[in-house]
């Protein structure tokens, strides 16, 4: 797979040399989002605040240009709108043409990007890799995310008869391991994660007004210090009119720094959209086997209304019920009420 990805990159480079003229130099556009929520919570245990305000956002700098030979080159730089562990989030360039598309840089894997997650009724509070969640509970996600934004090269094929293929190669999944603390330091020693590979296949089409989206992905991360980490993801999403339903499953083995740990995760979701209104629900179930032990069941009910271009209001309720390793105690519960606004620009 590695040789194939590098051959694709070499081909793109050769093609680009055939014409160095572009319509114009890349000019950056500014976009992004800001989510703000007021929260009222009831925790069975712990010292979490009963009320809180949470907000999160990003500023995106994007731009692209097309050469005379038809190749499209572009850039995507994402800046956290408030201080975080990674002040600069995804940062990558891409090349796109009749051959498909190649991403190079700090971005998620092919299996992550091509995953068709179930619909979410509420901005930022959905259970698939949520921006906001109950404090003290594990984050739910059916996305393969062990590699995250480590620097990688990813190839996406053109979509043919509804099918698309993708593959990623990550030279070092411990992208911050080195002599310093940043991703640009020389790698001085092996970390827990070494090379990583990702493959994915998805399908998107419609029949008599029914939209069908399905995906399957697999990530494997090698390690010189412990067992290899593997993630498998499956998803199906159907839509008809304003109704959308979906289901997804992820199986992770040896993840979270623990050999022998098996994590099974299932997510169901349904939404209905009428005009500016969207309402729906999600159910998430996580189970640890073998080395770990525990379960976490979560329910979300909520809705969103579009107030104007790029402006929406949302609200809803989350309920969590967990056991053992997934919450750190024999059992724990939490109920979260929230409402807020989402601005995109």
pLDDT tens per residue, range 228-278: 999 999 999 999 999 999 999 999 998 877 888 899 999 999 999 999 999
User: Looking at the predicted structure, is the pLDDT value of residue 18 above 50?
Assistant: no
CB 172 within 8 A of CB 166: no
Write out the two tokens for 21.
């003229």
Domains in the chain with CATH codes: 2-344 (2.40.160.10)
Helices (H), 124-256: none
User: Looking at the predicted structure, is the pLDDT value of residue 150 above 80?
Assistant: yes
Task: Give which of 91, 96, 59, 98 is closest to 76, Cα–Cα.
Answer: 91
- pLDDT tens-digit series, residues 273-322: 999 999 999 999 999 887 767 899 999 999 999 999 999 999 999 999 98
- pLDDT tens-digit series, residues 156-214: 999 999 999 999 999 988 764 443 445 555 554 456 788 999 999 999 999 999 999 99
Per-residue pLDDT, 288 = 87
- Cα 210 to Cα 176, 204, 243, 287, 292, distances in angstroms: 44, 11, 10, 33, 41
Per-residue pLDDT, 17 = 46
| 142 Cβ neighbours under 8 A, 6+ residues apart | 115, 117, 128, 233, 235, 248, 249, 250, 265, 266, 267
For the chain, what percent of residues have pLDDT higher than 70? 84
Q: How far apart are CA 248 and CA 143, in angstroms?
A: 9
Q: Residue 6: phi, psi to the nearest 5?
A: -70, -35
Per-residue pLDDT, 279 = 98
Write out the two tokens for 188.
């001085």
- Cα 9 to Cα 2, 16, 56, 321, distances in angstroms: 11, 11, 35, 47
Per-residue pLDDT, 6 = 47
| 10 Cβ neighbours under 8 A, 6+ residues apart | none
User: Looking at the predicted structure, is the pLDDT value of residue 41 above 80?
Assistant: yes
Per-residue pLDDT, 331 = 73
Q: How far apart are CA 14 and CA 104, in angstroms?
A: 16
Question: Where do the DSSP E strands lie in the chain?
Answer: 29-43, 51-66, 72-80, 88-97, 100-106, 151-156, 163-170, 196-207, 210-221, 229-240, 243-253, 261-274, 277-290, 294-308, 311-324, 329-344
Mean pLDDT of the chain: 86
Per-residue pLDDT, 182 = 54
Question: Where do the DSSP E strands lie in 44-176?
Answer: 51-66, 72-80, 88-97, 100-106, 151-156, 163-170
């Amino acid at each position: 797979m590695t040789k194939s990805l590098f051959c694709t990159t070499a081909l793109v480079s050769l093609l680009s040399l055939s014409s160095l003229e572009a319509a114009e130099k890349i000019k950056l556009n500014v976009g992004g989002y800001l989510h703000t929520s007021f929260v009222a919570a009831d925790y069975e245990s712990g010292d979490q605040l009963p009320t809180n305000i949470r907000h999160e956002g990003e500023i995106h700098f994007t731009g692209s240009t097309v050469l005379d030979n038809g190749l499209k080159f572009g850039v995507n730089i994402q800046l956290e709108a408030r201080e975080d562990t990674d002040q600069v989030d995804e940062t990558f360039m891409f090349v796109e043409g009749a051959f498909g598309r190649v991403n190079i840089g700090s971005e998620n894997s092919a299996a992550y990007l091509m995953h068709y997650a179930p619909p979410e009724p509420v901005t930022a509070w959905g259970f698939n890799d949520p921006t906001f969640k109950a404090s003290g509970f594990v984050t739910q996600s059916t996305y393969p995310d062990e590699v995250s934004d480590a620097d990688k090269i990813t190839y996406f094929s053109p979509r043919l008869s509804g099918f698309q293929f993708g593959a990623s190669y990550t030279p070092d999944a411990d992208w911050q391991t080195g002599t310093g603390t940043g991703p640009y330091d020389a790698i001085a020693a092996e970390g827990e994660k070494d090379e990583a590979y990702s493959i994915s296949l998805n399908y998107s089409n419609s029949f008599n007004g029914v939209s069908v989206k399905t995906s399957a992905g697999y990530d494997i991360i090698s390690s010189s210090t412990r067992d290899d980490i593997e993630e498998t993801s499956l998803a199906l999403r159907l839509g008809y009119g304003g109704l959308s339903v979906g289901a997804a499953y992820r199986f992770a083995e040896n993840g979270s720094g623990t050999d022998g740990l098996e994590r099974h995760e299932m997510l169901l979701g349904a939404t209905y959209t009428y005009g500016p209104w969207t309402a729906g629900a999600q159910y998430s179930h996580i189970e640890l086997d073998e080395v770990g032990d525990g379960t976490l069941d979560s329910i979300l009910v909520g809705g969103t209304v579009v107030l104007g271009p790029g402006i929406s209001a949302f609200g809803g309720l989350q309920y969590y019920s967990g056991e053992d390793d997934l919450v750190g105690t024999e059992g724990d519960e939490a109920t979260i009420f929230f409402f807020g606004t989402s601005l995109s620009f």
